[in-house]
Structure 1
Amino acid sequence: MFWKFDLHNNSHIDQLLDREDVTLRELIEEDDVLQECKAQNRRLLLFLSQDHCMQELVSLITTEPPADLEEKCRFKFPNIACELLTSDVSIINDKLGSDESLLEMLYHFLEQDPPLNPLLASFFSKTIGNLIARKTEQVVAFLKKKEGFIGLVLKHIDASAMMDLLLRLISCVEPAPLRQEVLHWLNEERLVQRLIELIHTGKDEERQSNASQTLCDIIRLSRDQANQMQENVESDPLLAVLESQEIVAGLLKNMFEGERSEASIVNGTQVLLTLLETRRSGWVSAFFLNASDSRSNSPTPVSYTFMTACLVFRKLSLILSEQCCCCSKTLKTLHHQEQIL
C-alpha cells in the first residue's frame, strides 16, 4: 500500500534548517513559517526558542523599523514576529514567560516617550496579553515588581492598545484568587482614580476618550463577572470604587469646575451612563437623593429604580444646559436614555 512508502517531502523550512548558518530573518521570510510553527514543527520550534532568536523576535515587535524601508514592508517582519510569539505554542510561551531578560525587553517598550507607534503598541499589547493568559503567575509577579507600570501604561493611554492591556489584566487572570489579588493591586495603584483624573479639560481629547472607554469597559466587565460569581466570592474592589460617591463627585468636579470643554463633559457623561446601565448601581439614589444611614454618615445603598434614573438624567441635563451650550449631542443622549428607561 502507498502508506508503506515515505512520500512526505520536507518543507522548505526544514531544508533551511538543514543549513548551519540559517538565520531567523530567512525563516520568517517563508510564507509557511507561521503554519509550521502552529503545526508544532519541532525543529523550527527548537530554533525559534533559542536565546538569540527570542531576543530578535522581541526586538522586532518593540523597535521602530528603519524609515527608509517601503511602507508595505516596514511592519511585515514585526507582524510575523508577533504572530510567532503569540502562536500559543507552549515552548515559546514557556521561554518568553520565564526569561526575565526577555520580559525586561518587552517592558522597556513602555519606557519610551509618547506617542508610541500604534502598530508596535498593538504587537506589544497582544504579546503581553497572551502571556497574562498563558503564563499568568510569572507575568503578574514581574509586573507587580515594576513600581511605575500603571503610570507608564496611563502615560500611553492615547494608544488604544494600552486600554486592551489593562482590560486583559482585569479579565484574563485565572484562577479566581489570583484575579482578586490583581484587582487589589490595581486598586492599590489607584487605577480608577488616575483614569478619572484624565477626564479633565486640560488633558488631550484622545487620552480623555480612551480613559472614559476604559472605565466603561471596567464597569461592564466587572459587573458581568460579578453576576457569574457565587455569592460568597469577594467583591470587585475596582467596581466598588467606581460606584462610590467620592469617585462620582470627583468626576462631576472634573467635568464642570473651572474651564469646561465638551470633550470632558461628553466623556464623563459616558461613564455616568454606564454606571446607570444596571440595577446594581447602589450609589445612584444615595448620591443624588442624599439618602443617609441613620447609624452613620455614609450613604445608604439604594436599589436602582426608574424614578432614580429619571432624576439623575434630569439633573445632568439641567447642569449641561445651564453650563455648557456646546453639548447638544450629550443632551440628546441623556434624553434618549431617559426615554428608554
Structure 2
Amino acid sequence: MTTTGERPALAQPGSAGPGKAVPGNSAPDAWHLLKTARELTEPELRKAVDRLAEPVRSVAAYHFGWSDECGRPVNGEGGKGVRAALVLAAAQAVGAPAVEAVAPAAAVELVHNFSVLHDDLMDGDLLRRGRSTAWSLFGSTQAILAGDALLAVAVDTLAHRFPQGGPEAVRELSGALLALVAGQGADLTFETRADVGLAECLEMAAGKTASLLAAACALGALAARAGTERVDALRQFGRHLGLAFQLVDDLLGIWGDTTVTGKPVGSDLRSRKKSLPVVAALSSGTPAGERLAALYHRTEPLDDAELRTAAQLIEEAGGRRWAQEEAERQRAAAVTSLATAGVTPDSTPALAALADLITRRHV
C-alpha cells in the first residue's frame, strides 16, 4: 500500500511480487508489474466511471470487479491490466517516469473494457473473469450503453488529462479503434463463411487485438516525448505482441481451464468461430482438417462430445502446434522491433517480462 498522495513507480523485474518464484521464469516478476500498474491506473479508472450516470455507472463498476450485481463493494478481479502495464513500461523504456503515462494507460484500459462489454454480448458469452458477464445480468441494452460510456470517457481522458500527447495521441487511439472495429466485424463475418484463409484471419487478429496493444506501446512512447523512430518501433513491438496474445488466447479458448482463465472453454468452437488454430487446421489439407471442416460446417449445434472431437481434430491437423509456434515467432519479432530502434530487452526488462507472460501462458 502507498500513503495518500504517493504513486508507486512501475516495479522492475526482480522485485518481490505475488506468486511463487520459478527459476528462469519471468512470470512472477511480470505479475508484480501488472499489480503495480493497476495500483497506478485504478484511481483514474474510478474517476472516469464515477462520471457516468446511473444505471450505467453500476454496470461499469460491476464489470470492473468493484461491486457485485446489487452495487455492494467487492474486491473482484477486474482483469490483468496488460494494456495499461504496456503503456507504463513503454514510457519507462524510453526514459519517462511511469506516472507521466498514467492518463493514456487509463484511456487504453477504458477502451479495452468498452470492447469487452460489447464482445461478450456479440459472442453470447456468459462468463468473464470467473463471473457472470454484464449483459447476462443487466441486459444487452445496459451493457451496450456502459461500453459506449467507457469509450466516451476514454477519449475524454486522453484529450484532457494527457496534454503532452496532443492531437497525435488522439489520432493514435482513434486509429486503433477503427482497426479494432474492423477486426471485430471480420471475426463475426467469418463465423458464417466456409472459406476463411489464414492470412485474412491473421489480419483480423491484427485489428481485433493487436491494434490496441500497438497503440498502448506507442502512447507510452509519446508520454516520454520519444522521437518518431522509437514510437514506431514500440508500436510494432505492441502489434507483434498483440498477435501473440490473440494466438495464445485462441489456444486457451480451446484447451484452457475455465477455473484458471475465467472464460467459458469451448464457446468459440460451439459458435463455429474461425479462430487462428481452427483456420490453420482447416487450411492444412490433412484428413483431420477435412473431417473438422465437415463437422464445423454442419448447421446443427455441436454437443459436448462433438466439441471434444473438434478439439482433437484441430490438434491432429496441426492447428495447435502452428498456433504455438506462430505465437513464439511473433514474440521474437516483437523483441526484434525493439532492437531496431536501439531499445534492447536488457534496457527494457519490464517490456521483456510482459512479453514472456503474454506468450507463455499455459496452454
Whether TM exceeds 0.5 here: the answer is no
Larger Rg, first or second structure (1 or 2)? 1
More relative contact order in 1 or in 2 (CA 8 Å, sep 6+)? 2
- Per the normalisation by structure 1, the TM-score is 0.30
